Homo-oligomer: A and B are copies of this chain.
Amino acid sequence: MAKYSRLNKDDAAVLLIDHQVGLMSLVRDMEPDTYKNNVLAVADLAEYFNLPTILTTSFEDGPNGPLLPELIEKFPNAPLIARPGQINAWDNEDFVAAVKATGKKQLIIAGIVTEVCVAFPALAALEEEFEVFIVTDASGTFNQITRDAAWDRMSKAGAQLMSWFAVASELHRDWRNDVEGLGALFANHISDYANLMTQYNTVKGS
């Protein structure tokens, strides 16, 4: 009855929308360093699972600024669609073409700001029968009111709300696929997890 619509690493692509250094200053619903950590975690998981990744920016030559340099470095060969004006990335033909070129039906989306740059393409993609997974903690906005409204709109339209940790865990399925790799991904972005590992290895090895 209730179909479990589950992320599958062979079916998924990642869309990183407008993580630009100027727009980062608008994000006030999370602490700035926490937020950046989450964004980089999504980037790392995209790379780790080898998911096709598409970058896009809005007016990167203006006040919104360039993409986070870490994203540019990590995805030198990813499509980076600098939109000439479309607010909804899905209104940009190149962007949609890039998405469709991946051949994937599951879209993992994060961006700034949640209610616009994330919600608009999410809603448009749902209309075209993509499965949409929002990385909520890598999507930032002005405050909790605007976040809650955005989540409600996307969820009602069928998007699944997740965290980067849930996305990585659902894609990985089984630790035995690679204990080291997933452990490193977690330890690099969750200090509590790194502490557990350090303590374990210390006691074990002593």
A residues engaging B (CB < 8 A)? 1-4, 6, 21-22, 24-26, 28, 30-37, 58-59, 61-66, 68-69, 84-88, 91, 113, 115-116, 119-120, 123-124, 126-127, 129, 134, 136-137, 142-143, 145-146, 148-153, 155-158, 160-163, 165-166, 169-170, 172-177, 179, 189-200, 202-204, 206
Contact = CB atoms under 8 A, between A and B. Distances in A.
A129 B2 CA distance: 8
B166 A150 contact: yes
A199 B65 contact: yes
A4 B157 CA distance: 8
Given A199-B63, A199-B66, A153 B162 contact: yes
A194 B161 CA distance: 29
22 contacts: A1-B127, A2-B157, A3-B127, A4-B123, A4-B127, A6-B123, A21-B198, A26-B192, A33-B37, A61-B206, A62-B200, A64-B196, A68-B198, A85-B177, A86-B174, A87-B175, A88-B173, A115-B165, A136-B149, A137-B149, A142-B165, A200-B203
B4 A124 contact: yes
Contacts of A198: 21, 65-66, 68-69
Contacts of A64: 196
Nearest to A182: B87
Contacts of A1: 126-127, 129, 158
A contact patch SS:
helix
Nearest to A145: B137
A169 B127 contact: no
A142 B115 contact: no
Given A21-B195, A85-B176, A86-B173, A115 B149 contact: no
